[in-house]
Amino acid sequence: MRLKSIFKLIAIALVSVTMIYGSCNKTEDPVAPAPYLPGFNATSISGNVGGVEVIEFAIVCTTDDVNITKIEVHAPDGSTYTYTGGLFVRNQQMLIPDTFVKLSGSWTFAITGSVSGGTHNAEGFNASATVSVSAK
C-alpha cells in the first residue's frame, strides 16, 4: 500500500512541475504591422475624337497628401503604360496625361509613392485602383 502512495505522490509532483514550467511566459516573435496603404479612387471620362471613342482617366488619393513616383496603367488588352507622378494633396485629381482608345473591361492603376505629411509621413506604398469601362 505504501508503494502506491509513493507512485501517486511522484505522479502528482511530475504533473505539477510540468504545468508550472509549461505555463511560463514564452517570448514570441513580434508580428510586423501591415504597411499603411492610402486610399485611391479612379474615374474615367469618355469622349469622341474624330469618330473614335476615347477615354481619359483621373486618380484621387482620398486619405493623404502623397508623392507619386510611378503610375502604371494596365489596359484590358494587356498593354501597360507608365507615368511619373508628383506631389498631390488629398482629393486633388491626378490626370493621366494621355487619351486612350476606349476598351471595355477593367483598367487597373498600380500606384507607387510615399505619404507626404501626417502620421505616416515618408512611408512608402504600392496601391492600386480599378475602373470598369463599358464600350456602350
Q: Is residue 100 part of a domain?
A: yes
Average pLDDT over residues 4-17: 72
| pLDDT score at 12 | 76
Rounded-to-10 torsion of CA 100, 78, 62, 36? -150
Q: Is residue 87 part of a domain?
A: yes
Alpha-carbon distance of 72 to 83, in angstroms, equals: 6
Q: Work out the widest C-alpha separation in the chain, in whole angstroms.
A: 106
Q: Is residue 61 part of a domain?
A: yes
What 3-state DSSP class applies to 21?
A: helix
* pLDDT confidence band for 23 (50 / 70 / 90): low
Tell me the helix, strand and coil percentages in the chain, rounded to 5.
15, 45, 40
Alpha-carbon distance of 85 to 116, in angstroms, equals: 13
Average pLDDT over residues 54-80: 97
Structural domain for 79, as ranges? 40-133
* pLDDT tens column, 68-83: 999 999 999 999 999 9
Alpha-carbon distance of 45 to 102, in angstroms, equals: 10
What 3-state DSSP class applies to 10?
A: helix
> Mean pLDDT, the chain, as a whole number?
90
The enclosing domain of 52 has a CATH number of 2.60.40
Q: Is residue 117 part of a domain?
A: yes
Q: Is residue 83 part of a domain?
A: yes
Q: Is the dihedral of CA 101, 102, 106, 110 positive or negative?
A: positive
Q: Is residue 35 part of a domain?
A: no
Q: Is residue 2 part of a domain?
A: no
* pLDDT tens column, 84-124: 989 999 999 999 999 999 999 999 999 999 999 999 999 99
Q: Is residue 9 part of a domain?
A: no
**Residue 20 or 127, more confident:** 127
Alpha-carbon distance of 43 to 40, in angstroms, equals: 10
pTM of the entire predicted model: 0.75
Domain count, the chain: 1
Q: Which residues, in sequence order, are CB contacts of 58 under 8 Å at separation 6+?
A: 42, 43, 45, 93, 94, 95, 96
Q: Quick check: 49 pLDDT over 60?
A: yes
